[in-house]
Amino acid sequence: MTAEELLRTMRDALASEREAIRRLDGRAVTEAASAKEKILAGVNAAPASERPALLAALRELRIELRRNLLLLAHARDSLREAIELCHPTGRGRLDARL
């Protein structure tokens, strides 16, 4: 995997994840997380000579990764709040974990 391929595939996974978060689609969020894990496994499996370029490419994605993390945190908090509003005891059928 080249650095350009890494950036392209990770950006695609992050875009899918952002859209899934916006839709509150837990299954799609999980699928995007799996895609990101596979990409990172590819980085770990790359020959040592290729890793510096791949890690540099990942550093370019820090802002996008943090943005998605913040969206996930806000989505989780919103779901928890909705559950508490629907069930004052906070013990609704839904479990607000992402």
Does residue 12 sit within a domain?
Answer: yes
67 lies in some domain: yes
Q: With respect to residue 94, please indicate whether it lies within any of the assigned structural domains.
A: no
E strands within 1-98? none
3 pLDDT tier (thresholds 50, 70, 90): confident
CB–CB of 56/3 below 8 Å? yes
Q: Is residue 95 part of a domain?
A: no
Residue 92 within a domain? no
- Domain holding 75, by residue range, is 3-86
* 48-90 pLDDT per residue, tens: 999 999 999 999 999 999 999 999 998 888 878 877 778 766 5
The total number of structural domains in the chain stands at 1
Q: Does 72 fall in a domain?
A: yes
Q: What's the first-to-final CA gap in the chain, in angstroms?
A: 30
Residue 96 lies in a domain: no
Mean per-residue pLDDT of the chain: 86
CA–CA gap between residue 24 and residue 31 (Å, rounded) = 13
Confidence of residue 24 (pLDDT cuts 50, 70, 90): confident
CA-based R_g, the chain, Å: 17
Task: Give the pLDDT mean for 6-30.
Answer: 93
